[in-house]
Structure 1
Amino acid sequence: MAITHVIYDLDGILLDTEPLHAQVNQAIANRYGKTIDRTLQYQLCGRKSKDSAALIVETLQLPLTPEAFLQEKDAIIYQYYPQVPPLPGIVRLTHHLANHNIPQAVATSSATRPFTAKTQPHQAWFSLFRCIVRGDDPELTRGKPAPDIFLIAAKRLGAKPENCLVFEDSLAGVMAARQAGMYVVAIPPPEMDYSAYQQADQVLTSLEDFKPEYWHLPAFEPDHHRVSPAQV
């Protein structure tokens, strides 16, 4: 095993957006007397926005189109995106790997518009990533759990899939990374059933528990300066 490149999901790995998505989805469902249960929430994680909207509308039998659902959601969620913070441990890790010249990338189901809204306050931090593949990338025809997005990221990094380590929080993302032939570390949301993540090579409760040396990456220095979210 030789890990030479690292790829991250955006929502739930780099930025703590998943609770916001869940709250807004449920707020819309509440208008129609419906509840998004845990099973449906599992299925939503990691999907493109339009796919998630279609799944919610179909599963809950809502009296509106997926497009109308997304319009309602966007009217609420965009005002909160700039307030979303990084996840604990991720700023430290990404700066550490960058300092050791480990190429890093982002592979996200988010399209360009929501990606820009989420990352606007963190532009200096996101400059660390060698490439970013978004959900509306012209090369991307299939979303997660298909492996395409990770294979595109690896190609643009000039990396072999077997030398890539992926960080994911969703089952769809874990499946996509495994199908791409990559190693994957899963950090499931707290409400998820961790036993469902058996395809992952490693499952952690927090990125603060990640030890780079386990993957033969440079270890954190004992006196490593922990970069705070306020500095990104």
Structure 2
Amino acid sequence: MPAYKPVTHVIFDMDGLLLDTERLYTVAISELTEEYGKAYPWELKVQCMGMKGDASAKLIIDSLELPLTVPEYLEKIDLKYKELFPQAVLLPGAERLVRHLHKHGVPIAIASGSSQTSFDLKTTSHRELMKLFNPVVLSSSDPEVKAGKPAPDVFLVCAGRFPDKPHSSKCLVFEDAPLGVKAAAAAGMQCVMVPDPRTDKSLTEEATLVLESLEDFKPELFGLPPFNS
């Protein structure tokens, strides 16, 4: 069994990890690319997961040769997001784990590639749960986050905003995306990955622990209070 190190703070990605928004991203982007006769393949989606909005827009435009500028793409896709994102639901095990950690006084945060506008739409039905996270760092809107995932910036900024500013080694990250796992590793943090089942196994190798669902997580592996406590 790998040697897991005890942690004191937990940082969650949001899209595809806490909320079932990756499916909504796929629907929105596929609808847009189909307007130009192009499909949005899984291989391209994996590359985009966790990126800042403008970076993923450029990658999609360039990869599919869409006749759009980044601002034009973002304007069109934002209209689709406004319609779809309020439908976001929590993924299995997310609420149980978040409430458990909060109940036991474990500091929890969100570090996401989202913008503030996007975050507000996605959490329309989950405002009360989102209040348990402090800080919430959204790299597409946060001027302190200079580079998106796979750079470590969002996780390092997030750790620095906990009131007691823990060392990176004391932070455990939860991620679903390969870019997020790389970012956590670059930040010197352990990372529990809950990947989409279609994700190539080679893209999960940098994770400390890989699970099929948040429901399978055992907090005591990392020195956190067990669920029966």
Instruction: Report the TM-score when normalising by structure 2.
Output: 0.94
Counterpart CA distance in 1 for 2:206 and 2:33 is 31
Distance 2:187 2:71 in 1: 30
> What runs of 5+ residues in structure 1 fail to find an aligned partner?
223-232
| Cα displacement (A) at 1:209 | 0.8
Taking the aligned partners of 2:198 and 2:27, their CA distance within structure 1 comes to 14
Moved more, 113-122 or 18-27: 113-122
For residues 202 and 153 of structure 1, the distance between their equivalents in structure 2, rounded to whole angstroms, comes to: 21
1:163 corresponding residue in structure 2: 170
3-state SS of paired residue (1:80): helix
Instruction: Verify the 8 A CA contact 2:7 2:171 in the aligned structure 1.
Output: yes
Count of matched residue pairs: 222
**Cross-structure match for 2:66:** 62
RMSD: 1.2
Q: Which moved more, 1:30-39 or 1:169-178?
A: 30-39
One of 192, 203, 206 as aligned partner of 1:199:
206
User: How far 1:52 moved relative to its partner?
Assistant: 0.8
**Corresponding residue for residue 154 of structure 1:** 159
Shift of 1:36: 2.0
Overall identity of the aligned pairs, in %: 44
Q: Give per-residue Cα distances to partners, 1:26-84, cap 9 Å, x unaligned.
A: 11111111122222111011111111111000001111112211111111121221111
Q: Which residue of 2 aligns with 1:189?
A: 196
Equivalent residue number for residue 16 of structure 1? 20
Paired amino acid for 1:115:
F
Partner SS state of residue 125, structure 2: helix
Partner of 2:105: 101
Whole-angstrom CA distance in 2 between matches of 1:18 and 1:38: 11
Q: Which runs of 5+ in 2 are unaligned?
A: none
1:82 and 1:119 in contact (8 A); partners too: yes
- Structure 1 outlier segments of 4+, above 6 Å: none
* Alignment match of 2:187 (pick from 166, 180, 191): 180
Q: Which range moved further: 87-96 or 185-194?
A: 185-194
Please give the per-residue CA displacement for 1:119-150, whole angstroms capped at 9, x wherever unaligned: 13211111111211112112111111100110
Q: Distance in 2 between matches of 1:24 and 1:63?
A: 17
1:92 is matched with which residue?
96
Instruction: Quote the Cα distance in structure 2 between the aligned partners of 1:204 and 1:186.
Output: 6
Give the secondary structure class of the aligned counterpart of 1:57: helix
- Of 210, 214, 227, the match for 1:220: 227
Partner of 1:80: 84
For 2:68 and 2:128, locate their aligned partners in 1 and report how far apart those are by CA, in whole Å.
Answer: 40
**Structure-2 residue corresponding to 1:128:** 132
* Residue aligned with 1:88, SS: coil
- Displacement of 1:195: 3.1
Q: Which one of 31, 35, 60 corresponds to residue 35 of structure 2?
A: 31
Query: Partners in 2 of 1:82 and 1:38 — Cα distance?
Result: 23
2:75 alignment partner, one of 45, 64, 71: 71
Q: What secondary structure, in the 3-state scheme, does the structure 1 residue paired with 2:127 have?
A: helix
Structure 1 contact 188–194 (Cα < 8 Å) conserved: no
TM-score of the aligned structures, taking structure 1 as reference length: 0.92
SS in 2 for 1:185: strand
SS in 1 for 2:76: helix
- Residue aligned with 2:68, SS: coil
Aligned AA (1:16): D
